[in-house]
Amino acid sequence: MTVTNRWTIRDVATASFFDQVTKKLRARLDSLKQSGLENTADTVYAQGGSGNPKLVGFSGNKAAKFTLQDALFTNDLIAMLLGTEIITAATPVTVDNILKVTGNSVTLDYTPITTGALVSVSKYLPDGTVGESFDYKSASPTAGEYSVTDKVVTFATGALIDGEKVIAYYKTMAGSGTKQLKAQTDKFAGSFELILDVLVRDVLTKQDYAAQITIPSVKLEDNWSMAMAPDGDPATQDIVMEALAVPGSKDLYTMYIFDESDLA
């Protein structure tokens, strides 16, 4: 069947990243908001004669940059950008509780991972600011001190009145499904094989065709950000990468346009 020669795109690609050594799928992004390709090259000119016109042009430094924007954050992709592996394991995390004092004590929401001092214990004032801090004492706390037994934090008699609040920071254990994503000083974003799949529509027949861009090697850029705000649109993840030349080939990428009904 004849495949389109003139077409338009009004769709976003699905991106699949593969490990260049094992060829295993590392991440699949099917929630992209934008996907784009920018081809660039540098041109220098021989110039001379009256008026110094450009006489001959020489092109080089050819590059292909791919930019993706995902509506969702994917742990696998974040790990690829950081150059580290996802760790899935029970691990200590820091939590904070704002608690009302009753009978010179408060009860924490969770169990501290160790006995002894908590990370921080302070008065929590009515205007939302932090008041005086308390020091840990193993037993019989006096003014300005606290002790801990299991989840109960006890203060000196009369140090706080019922209804006053304290804010306590402490470490407790998160479950075995906890994901750890680490940024390390000696690890950087890697290179991967990338396949982009998108639909194109023929200008004459209005028929849709599959388009696939295969890039043997792309280097993820290390610069990325994560915005956090209580209003406006939800945060998106921007992914920028450049195609790399691979040994034995001059191809930066290849685009295929085909009719899926013709697949074997």
* CA atoms of 82 and 84, how far apart (whole Å): 5
Residue 262 pLDDT? 92
Residue 13 pLDDT? 97
Non-local CB neighbours of 79 within 8 Å, separated by 6+ positions: 85, 86, 181
Dihedral over Cα of 230, 232, 237, 240: its sign: negative
**Which among 20, 17, 22, 33 is positioned nearest to 78, based on CA atoms?**
17
Tens-digit pLDDT profile for the chain (264 aa)? Answer: 789 999 999 999 999 999 999 999 999 999 999 999 999 999 999 999 999 999 999 999 999 999 999 999 999 999 999 999 999 999 999 999 999 999 999 999 999 999 999 999 999 999 999 999 999 999 999 999 999 999 999 999 999 999 999 999 999 999 999 999 999 999 999 999 999 999 999 999 999 999 999 999 999 999 999 999 999 999 999 999 999 999 999 999 999 999 999 999
Angle at 30 (CA atoms; ends 29, 33), nearest 5 degrees:
95
The pTM of the full predicted model, rounded to 2 decimals, is 0.88
pLDDT tens readout for residues 2-45:
899 999 999 999 999 999 999 999 999 999 999 999 999 999 99
**Which among 214, 203, 206 is positioned nearest to 256, based on CA atoms?**
214
Strands 135-136 and 145-149: parallel
Instruction: Sheet with 152-155: list strands edge to edge.
Output: 105-107, 152-155, 145-149, 135-136
128: left (phi over 0), alpha (psi -120 to 50) or beta: left
Residue 209 pLDDT? 97
Task: Look at the block and give the residue holding tokens 């110094």.
Answer: 52
Cα–chain center distance at 149: 39
Residue 166 pLDDT? 98
* CA atoms of 226 and 30, how far apart (whole Å): 19
CA atoms in the 13 A half-sphere facing the CB of 244: 15
Full set of structural domains in the chain with CATH: 7-41+54-85+183-262 (2.30.110), 91-179 (no CATH)
- Please say whether the beta carbons of 211 and 255 come within 8 A: yes
CA atoms in the 13 A half-sphere facing the CB of 116: 4
Residue 163 pLDDT? 97
**Residue 153 bridge partners (DSSP):** 106, 148
Structural tokens at position 225: 């950000």
Residue 51 pLDDT? 96
Residue type at position 53: P
| Secondary-structure percent of the chain, ordered helix, strand, coil, rounded to 5 | 5, 50, 45
